Chains A and B, each alone.
Chain A
Amino acid sequence: MKKRDYQALVAYLGLVVPGLTVYLVIVAYPILYSLWLSLTDFNPNRGGSWSLVGLLQYRTMIQDPAFWHALKNNLTVVAVSVFGQIPIGFALAYILFRKLVRAGRFYQSMVFLPHFLSTIVIGTMWKRLFQADGPVARLLQMLSGDPTSQFDLMLRAETVMYPIGFALIWMYTGLYMIVFLANMQKIDASMIEAAKIDGASEPQIFFRLIVPLLSGTILVATTLAIAGSLRGFDLIFAMTTQGLTRMNAEVLPIFMYRTAFQDYSNPMRFAYGSAISNIIVVISMALILLSNYIGRRLHAGEEH
């Protein structure tokens, strides 16, 4: 018996240890490292000399207007995801689900396409499209009949988030559409038939049957969208030019990147940057856990 246990343990460890080691060293350890870094004044300009300084970096962050500016922009991105991507995605999914159009699969593949493309490439494409003399500007000139009108939304601090919000919706709506569609297809078709026989109109079926049935999915999608929006880096980074435009559109991840990897004059750049990324992790983790919690409760409720 003992020998068999021993053999089983060896086999178990042989299977688990290689992958687990890579994971622990590259994923788990750095998060502790990051926590430690954010509590020090780690100075890469002086060969990494450091001493513990408590919550100094977090205090600096709260007093830094750049942090609040980035957070504000991040909240705009969150709003765009929740009030743009999710409703549009839901509406498109519903049209496909009820087979209100022919060639649904064709439409579905078209709308889902951007999800597969590199965000950085798509961001560069939108930067070009939104240039002051670019295609969108020309299109607006043709539509308005005013050949001198300029597309300057990207250039002004107050408006820069509008074109970025549009690109974000363009990029991610397809994902939510697919997620909602997959969940709609789990709905028992006889339920809709029954509602129809009872004389329910289309809007009634939509608002009083489909939406309540998918409320769990909508909630989970919403919280995931919030968490994802807090992490978003590539698209805004590619759509803006380094300098004023990027500063105007700065979100927390770009603020972290700029602090840690571009602001060489700041001796505490890695410590401060770690504090910023820890805050991003804390906020998004709280939201993901919340979404799982809500999802599980709703799921448990359905089974009764």
Chain B
Amino acid sequence: MPGRSTEVAPRVAGTGDGTAGRLVGRAVSYLVLTTWALITVLPLVWMFYSSFKSNDELITSIFGLPHDLFVNREDEYAVIPPALNVILPYDPEVDTRERVIIESATISPGRRLMVQFLLKEKLPPELRGLQPGDRLRVSQLPPALRLRINLATIWFNYISAFVRGTLGLKFINSVIYTAVSTFFIGLLALMISFALSKLPFRKLSLFILGLIGMGYLLSIQSVIIPLFLMLSSARLTDTHVGIILVYTAFGMPLAVLLMTQFMRGLPDSLIESAYIDGASVFRTFASIMVPMSTPVIVTVCIISALGIWNEFLLVLVLASSEITKSLPVGVFSFASLMGTQLGWQLAALVIATAPVIAVYLLFNKSITKGVVAGALKE
């Protein structure tokens, strides 16, 4: 290799030429990187700020900043009767307090999408007698109610996505799948890797490592049909247990490969001295191997959690009810169903991406390192 650098040799005449070239190089570099960074970020920026726009704005002023939902102090509302198409946020059998139901006259009027329920006891006397058909302005309301409605208007898209897409439930499901599966991947892979790298039975260990390593070449997608049939006969489709089981199993190969590689690099002497001191295998595992493997545990957890949080196909195939759907599947089906509610769609997308972006920006360095370690696995 060192021979190559002399090969490059023909000397460039004049140093002034070199600095000019370097300047052009820098300018081109800035241009290329800035362009690409903008191409990457601008669609996301558009998605974020547009998620606060009303449906009309999303059609008439595609690139404009959100306006309608923010300028809402003088919004007009119409009093409506408690009809069947109004979803009550309370149980009328239990909560019998009288309410005035109002609907926005600006946000999709007549479609019962922006509806507020005002307790009569909290209204000033002159507003208590409002009848269906009457109109009022937000500014007429007492400050507490006014603030509530102002906020509900600004967050209209988000509240609708959360409530109508039951995205809160799906968010919790995603957290459960990610946390529980990642925990089991870490625990089971640590146990296996410890045995394979530090206990006797070398030949058996190599065989098991090869067997598990083969799984690295497979993805959930490649066996989704048999998995579906197996879990159906075990009555585990559409259950949290079934989904976590699959995630755990498919996280094992990469985790075991990375952890075994790491533990092989740890000195044997530490473990031997622990044996001599009379520590059991499990004791050695828990109090020596696990603490020493922290870097690789972090890497494995990052890669596993990221993959599971974003996984789509398994839940799409296995989850038939809303109770087991994860956030990506929930957002996808909500966005497909609400094709005409552009603002809700965008709000749902932001709900799914914002947490990941926040975590990424907070732990940028260690996450990047972890992903590189996974991608570069040799």
Contacts and interface: CB of A to CB of B under 8 A. Distances in A.
Interface of A: 8-9, 11-12, 14-16, 18-20, 22-23, 25-31, 33-34, 37, 88, 91-92, 95-96, 100-101, 107-122, 124-126, 128-129, 133-135, 138-139, 170, 173-175, 178-179, 182-183, 191, 194-195, 198-202, 204-205, 208-209, 212-213, 231, 233-234, 237-238, 241, 253, 256-257, 260-261, 270, 273-274, 277-278, 280-281, 284-285, 288-289, 295, 299, 302
B43 A277 contact: no
Contacts of A289: 217
Contacts of B252: 19, 22-23, 27
A27 B40 contact: no
Contact of B285 (A15, A37, A199, A284): A15
Interface stretch (B70-78, B130-138, B307-315): B307-315
A8 B191 contact: no
Given A26-B227, A170-B40, A194-B2, 15 more contacts: A16-B191, A19-B256, A33-B230, A88-B36, A95-B29, A119-B310, A120-B312, A120-B328, A121-B331, A121-B349, A174-B40, A175-B375, A198-B8, A204-B8, A209-B4
Given A101-B29, A178-B372, A179-B372, A200 B282 contact: no
Interface residues of B, number: 105
Contacts, number: 281
B171 interface: no
B43 A110 contact: no
B127 interface: no
Residue among A88, A107, A133 with max Cβ neighbours from chain B (10 Å): A107
B129 interface: no
B312 A138 contact: no
Interface string B326-360: 01110110011000001001100100110011001
B63 A135 contact: yes
A37 B226 contact: yes
A1 to B, nearest CB: 13
B368 interface: yes
B164 interface: no
Interface string B132-160: 00000000000000000000000000000
